[in-house]
Amino acid sequence: MIEGPGRQALIGSAVFALCMALLLFLRLLPLSSGMVGWPGPDIAVCLVFAWVLRRPDQLAAPVIVAAFLVEDIFLLRPLGLWTALVLIATEAARLREHRWREQAFMIEWLRVAILIGVMMLAYRAVMFLFLLSPPALGQVLLQYLATLAAYPVVVFVARWTVGLRRISASDAEMMRYR
């Protein structure tokens, strides 16, 4: 039987995978009439950053890779490109999580905004490098702004539905010695 911390990590990963599957299902529903006006936010990226910055012990890198690789396949994006960028950004955030833990939410929001912006720029740069047609710049900028606006909402919803709260310094210290 799996004991305390291992069980929590397994449950956290399973809940994250369920949330990602639900988001992908909702994204694939044919709800539009054909003409796309305003692009919606990338809720999956908001969720993964919220999860990594609140409970880094519950979300392993292979779970992130699997979730975003499945998303790449279903959304017909270049296979593994967005997955690699999300993994690099989330691991960079995970390494700095202990320093960001006691800071205000606005600082976290700014740092996540910078990470998402760098991810989107890198995505466009790689697409240009390999002569693939990138999405229109206006649409990308609108999606970036929508994603930034959605991040606090995703954090709030994740806190009240899944119970995703930031760990305290004492909890992090206890996890280190387990």
Please report, for the chain, the start and end positions of each structural domain, with discontinuous segments joined by +. Answer: 4-176
Q: Tell me if 143 sits within 8 A of 41, measured CB to CB.
A: yes
**CA geometry: angle 173, 52, 62, nearest 5 deg:** 105
Name the token pair of 47: 């969720």
**Residue for token pair 């206890």:** 174
CA dihedral angle for residue 119, residue 121, residue 123, residue 127, rounded to 10 degrees? -170
Q: Tell me if 154 sits within 8 A of 47, measured CB to CB.
A: yes
User: What is the model's pTM?
Assistant: 0.87
CA dihedral angle for residue 63, residue 68, residue 71, residue 72, rounded to 10 degrees? -140
In 10 A of CB 119, how many CB atoms? Answer: 20
What pLDDT does 52 receive? 92
Q: Crossing angle of helices 4-28/61-74, nearest 10°?
A: 10
Number of H helices, E strands in the chain: 7, 0
Q: What is the mean pLDDT of residues 95-101?
A: 80
Q: What is the mean pLDDT of residues 70-91?
A: 94
Q: Which pLDDT tens digit goes with each residue over 117-139?
A: 999 999 999 999 998 888 889 89
Q: What is the share, in percent, of the chain residues with pLDDT greater than 70?
A: 88
Q: What is the mean pLDDT of residues 93-113?
A: 87
Q: How far is CA 103 from the centre of its chain?
A: 20
> Which of the listed ranges 9-13, 33-37, 105-109 does the model predict with the highest average pLDDT?
105-109
Q: Tell me if 20 sits within 8 A of 44, measured CB to CB.
A: yes
Q: What is the mean pLDDT of residues 55-72?
A: 92
Q: What is the share, in percent, of the chain residues with pLDDT greater than 90?
A: 53
Between residues 63 and 4, the one the model is more confident about: 63
Name the token pair of 53: 């910055």
